[in-house]
Amino acid sequence: PSGLESDAAVQQTSDDAAVSRESAARLGYIADPFIKHFIKHPQRRAPLINRGTYCRFHGIQRVLREFVAAALQPRVQCVVLGAGLDTSFFLLSPNLRYFEVDFADITAKKAQMVWRKGALRERLPEDTRVVGAELHSETYNLIAGDLREFPSVMARLQERGFDCEAPTLFVSECVLVYLDPVCSDAILDWITTNVPRAGVVTYEQIRPDDRFGQMMIGNLRARGLELRGLLAYPTLESTKNRFLTRGWRVARAVDLAEYHDHCVDKRELDRLAALELLDEWEEFRLLAQHYAFTFAYTADSLPFSSIHFP
């Protein structure tokens, strides 16, 4: 596909992620009363997908919540890269500067949806305004930009109050892996160079080489999507080293199968088992081994050092 076609295919993935999230929310896997407002055509996902969505949500929300809780000073900030229709801002109502970035087509759509739905609009700071494809306020900003031009994206954030000196958590769920690794490495390097106290949590595909990995890549390719990042960072080890060799002090990586087995409470797993029968355990394991979280930070100090992850 041409550049523009593949950009359109990547943008489409924000709807897929939201549909999966809505399915998991409606069935009681996750507590997200906001995601339904972003979905026109709800779908019920298969039990193994719902369980995967549960783990994904659990991991990212855990880092976000612990960051917000440890962030006692008001100057800390959070940046969600490729935010799509992510609802974390509405769930957390964080008392900090919060930025979301995505292509203008996506932010324009999200801004309109948020503005029109009372349940979402009432969660916005009082001073929020719609400005073109964006939402602006003192604390929450939804910004249009192309992550492949990261310095100009960050210049826009700085106009909206982003402070390089403040401790900052960057969140990236299924975003960096779609970029050429030269671009995603440039993003990480911009952060280490410019933000002395930074943390990042990612959730992305891994292990392209085995049969399941090849199938996953084939399915995405059929939709015009390429997991470019997997060429350079195919394994847990290479993902972790990616950070450690680029000046990040701490980096941890865990795949979703391990996260499911060791990081989710037994009581929670019992609760999930009662929601829906999952009998495709082998398929779930395979799927879950092909997704991973990484959590890394540059400064071994609060609020990052107090976050327990994985």
List residues near ligand SAM by CB under 6 A. 10-11, 13-14, 17, 82-86, 102-103, 106, 146-148, 173-175, 178
Residue 206 near residue 235, CB atoms below 8 Å: yes
Which residue number, 83 or 91, has a Cβ lying nearer to ligand SAM? 83
Structure tokens at 174: 């299924």
CB of 176 to ligand SAM, least distance (A): 9
DSSP string, 80-107: EET-TT--HHHHH--SSEEEEEE-HHHH
Edge-to-edge strands, sheet with 129-131 = 129-131, 134-136, 140-144, 97-102, 77-81, 168-173, 198-205, 291-297, 250-255
Question: Which residues share a beta bridge with 296?
Answer: 200, 251
- Cα separation, 81 vs 231, whole angstroms: 21
Which residue number, 178 or 297, has a Cβ lying nearer to ligand SAM? 178
Residue 306 CA neighbour count, 13 Å, CB half: 11
Which residue number, 220 or 264, has a Cβ lying nearer to ligand SAM? 220
Question: Which residues share a beta bridge with 68?
Answer: none
Which residue number, 144 or 197, has a Cβ lying nearer to ligand SAM? 144
CB of 63 to ligand SAM, least distance (A): 13
Measured in degrees and rounded to the nearest 5, phi and psi for residue 57 equal: -65, -45
Which residue number, 143 or 272, has a Cβ lying nearer to ligand SAM? 143
Angle in degrees, CA 79, 80, 85, rounded to 5: 145
Listed residue (158, 149, 156, 96) closest to 131, CA to CA: 156
Which residue number, 84 or 213, has a Cβ lying nearer to ligand SAM? 84
CB of 290 to ligand SAM, least distance (A): 15
CB of 61 to ligand SAM, least distance (A): 12
Which residue number, 181 or 196, has a Cβ lying nearer to ligand SAM? 181
Beta-strand relationship, 77-81 and 97-102: parallel
CB of 102 to ligand SAM, least distance (A): 4
10 Å CB burial of residue 113 (0-12, 13-18, 19+) is middle
- Cα separation, 168 vs 162, whole angstroms: 9
Which residue number, 86 or 134, has a Cβ lying nearer to ligand SAM? 86
CB of 162 to ligand SAM, least distance (A): 16
- Cα separation, 183 vs 195, whole angstroms: 18
Which residue number, 171 or 197, has a Cβ lying nearer to ligand SAM? 171
- Cα separation, 144 vs 150, whole angstroms: 12
CB of 267 to ligand SAM, least distance (A): 26
CB of 101 to ligand SAM, least distance (A): 6
Beta-strand relationship, 140-144 and 97-102: parallel
CB of 277 to ligand SAM, least distance (A): 26
